[in-house]
Amino acid sequence: MKYSIATFVAWAACLIGGAVRADDVTLESVPPVVVKTVPEAGASNVDPKLTEIKVTFSKDMADGTWSWATQTQESFPKVEGKIKYLSDKRTCVLPVKLEPGKTYAIWVNHENYSNFKDADGHSSIPYLLVFKTKE
């Protein structure tokens, strides 16, 4: 199911302020959201040789701060290397070692961990990335 930016903006407005007037909602005032992942969320045939998980946000992000959080220890990939943002300031890269035939579930921010923040300090909306590697 695909959602429009307007849907995300409306949902984000509810989360950050409850009763936000329509004319108060701007791209600058709402928190960032995940707009793209590699691998794609819900993918069931991911190459286990993939060495980087990438998450792209709707806004420029603050460098050096993130919250890759576990759903369970078993469903979180082994991290191999340093986490970084690409030069676009919107894509965060998690270097990983994946196993074949395994389902992974990774939170990008979570109710207790909210260090993915935009350049103005707004925490991103939590996002659960789930995918499975092929055998």
pLDDT of residue 22: 62
Q: Where are the alpha helices (DSSP H) in 26-105?
A: none
Backbone phi, then psi, for 20, in 5-degree steps?
-105, 130
Which of 114, 132, 128 shows the shortest CA–CA distance to 55? 128
In the structure encoding, which two tokens stand for residue 105, read together?
A: 């579930």
In the structure encoding, which two tokens stand for residue 36, read together?
A: 């793209």
Judge contact between 128 and 105, C-beta under 8 A: yes
User: Could you tell me the residue ranges of all domains in the chain?
Assistant: 1-30, 32-132
Instruction: With a cut of 80, say whether residue 4 has pLDDT above it.
Output: no
Which residues are CB-neighbours of 9 under 8 A, at least 6 positions away? 25, 27, 30
- As a whole number of angstroms, the distance between CA 25 and CA 116 comes to 21
Name the CATH code of domain 32-132 (choices 3.20.20.70, 2.60.40.1220, 1.10.1200.10, 2.60.40.420): 2.60.40.1220
Average pLDDT over the chain reads 88
pLDDT of residue 23: 66
| Mode of pairing for the β-strands spanning 103-108 and 34-38 | unpaired
pLDDT in tens, 5-15: 444 445 555 55
pLDDT of residue 66: 96
Amino acid at 63: D
Question: Mean of the pLDDT values across residues 103-121?
Answer: 96
pLDDT in tens, 45-99: 999 999 999 999 999 999 999 999 999 999 999 999 999 999 999 999 999 999 9
Other Cβ atoms less than 10 A from the Cβ of 4: the count is 8
DSSP characters for 33-46?
-EEEEESPTT-S-B
